[in-house]
């Protein structure tokens, strides 16, 4: 019965998109700024006209997890923690060619990809399965790919462990994954959120093209001077006439590991002087932009314009924000806070502390990482090993 209902609703939603979904992603370049803003400003919400239509843009139907009392489960359920769950969603960088192949045996997962193809205007599933890798790794493609694969992975979780969805009381996602979490929590409709991600990816790709920049993972010891290193890297750029120099922590992962983003010259400075500042290892990430820094500022406006066109609902369960690690209070909070994430660092370590801190001797909820890779599970082990003991990966 579930499959029939979700198929009908997914395809009703896709028909609504036939008039607005682009045939192909817009070409990017400095001359596309105004077009991107115009597209975001004209982004419209699909408003349901009946109770049946209410589910047309959601990948889940009544009877799964949308009929619980948020007040009782928004922070800590007053039941045995082992009977509750937390679901985490990965972000950009988790993608790989062949992802989602193991999900195709689940009808709901196939339906979600079918709707995604309608919304995006190209065959996302084929790109996930066959690549090429160079194309899948591009921001404009990998962000939708990771989001859809993550939500499709929930279909496997629903089939194999239905109680994991029913008993979920909190969710969070890393960067892009936060939008996946908001869809799961019922705050954003699936198709509108996917189009929002497409606009986000286009805007971030465009911002990346304005200056040569990147990101790197930094491992260091207790005596390292990361803040000083970033300041000196900026000074180095200023002396060489680099416009809008930037070098800062973009992702807080765990106590001895951060991701630093900035101008190409700033990252080269860090690599050349790592021992001076007590850095043990630096590894470049395969991205072409300094995400979660002010170099992404031009992406905020189109994203905000598009977000304002969506009818945001109060999250049914607690969703934690990357900006400060705290849970969203309501729909208005989502509207105001989510755009900040593009230029603010991802405070993932702080988020995990907020979600998993327990008294000594308390049990932990089960955690499921849904999406490609197992990166979030690995980070959780470094932040809270006891919580990691009951963590599982539902890989796309």
> Which residues are the active-site residues?
175, 292
Closest CA relative to residue 174, chosen from 95, 278, 255: 95
Closest CA relative to residue 81, chosen from 385, 355, 366, 391: 366
The dihedral region occupied by 122, where left means phi > 0, alpha psi between -120 and 50, and beta the remainder, is beta
User: Do 61 and 5 touch, CB atoms closer than 8 A?
Assistant: yes
Report the alpha-carbon distance of residue 376 to residue 364 in Å, rounded: 17
Cβ-based neighbour number of residue 315 at 10 Å: 25
Report the alpha-carbon distance of residue 57 to residue 340 in Å, rounded: 25
309, burial (CB in 10 Å: exposed 0-12, middle 13-18, buried 19+): middle
User: Do 350 and 375 touch, CB atoms closer than 8 A?
Assistant: no
Closest CA relative to residue 103, chosen from 37, 59, 56: 59
| CA Rg value for the chain | 21
Report the alpha-carbon distance of residue 257 to residue 283 in Å, rounded: 11
Q: Tokens for 308, please give them.
A: 């304002």
**What letter does residue 81 receive in the DSSP assignment?**
G
The Cα angle at residue 45 between residues 44 and 48, in degrees rounded to 5: 145
**What letter does residue 326 receive in the DSSP assignment?**
P
Report the alpha-carbon distance of residue 362 to residue 147 in Å, rounded: 33
Helices (H), the chain: 2-17, 33-41, 70-73, 107-120, 124-130, 133-136, 139-160, 162-166, 177-184, 190-208, 226-239, 264-272, 300-308, 331-337, 348-356, 375-383, 385-388
Report the alpha-carbon distance of residue 380 to residue 238 in Å, rounded: 37
């Amino acid at each position: 019965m579930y499959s029939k209902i979700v198929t009908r609703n997914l395809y009703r939603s896709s028909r609504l998109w036939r008039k607005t979904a682009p045939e192909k992603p817009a070409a990017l370049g400095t001359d596309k700024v105004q077009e991107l803003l115009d597209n975001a400003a004209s982004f419209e919400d699909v408003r349901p006209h009946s109770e049946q239509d209410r589910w047309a843009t959601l990948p889940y139907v009544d009877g799964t997890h949308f009929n619980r009392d948020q007040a009782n489960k928004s922070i800590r359920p007053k039941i045995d923690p082992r009977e509750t769950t937390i679901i985490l969603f990965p972000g950009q960088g988790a993608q790989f060619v062949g992802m989602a192949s193991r999900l195709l045996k689940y009808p709901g997962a196939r339906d979600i990809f079918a709707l995604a193809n309608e919304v995006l205007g190209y065959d996302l599933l084929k790109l996930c399965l066959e690549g090429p890798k160079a194309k899948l790794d591009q921001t404009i493609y990998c962000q939708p790919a990771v989001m859809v694969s993550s939500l499709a992975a929930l279909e496997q979780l629903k089939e194999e462990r239905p109680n994991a969805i029913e008993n979920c009381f909190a969710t969070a996602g890393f960067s892009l994954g936060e939008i996946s979490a908001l869809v799961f929590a019922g705050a954003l409709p699936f198709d509108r959120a996917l189009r929002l991600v497409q606009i986000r990816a286009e805007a971030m790709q465009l911002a990346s093209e304005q200056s040569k920049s990147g990101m790197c993972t930094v491992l260091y010891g207790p005596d390292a001077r990361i803040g000083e290193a970033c300041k000196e890297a900026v000074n180095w750029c200023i002396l060489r006439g680099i416009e809008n120099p930037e070098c800062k922590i973009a992702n807080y992962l765990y106590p001895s590991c951060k991701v630093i983003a900035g101008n190409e010259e700033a990252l080269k400075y860090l690599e050349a002087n790592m021992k001076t500042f007590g850095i043990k290892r630096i590894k470049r990430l395969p991205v072409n932009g300094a995400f979660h820094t002010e170099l992404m500022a031009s992406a905020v406006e189109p994203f905000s314009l598009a977000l304002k066109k969506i009818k945001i609902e109060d999250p049914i369960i607690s969703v934690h924000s990357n900006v400060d690690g705290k849970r969203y209070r309501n729909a208005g909070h989502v509207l105001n806070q989510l755009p900040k994430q593009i230029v603010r660092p991802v405070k993932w370590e702080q988020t995990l502390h907020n979600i998993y801190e327990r008294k000594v001797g308390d049990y932990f909820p089960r955690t499921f990482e849904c999406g490609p890779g197992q990166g979030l599970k690995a980070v959780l082990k470094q932040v809270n090993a006891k919580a990691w003991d009951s963590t599982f990966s539902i890989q796309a």
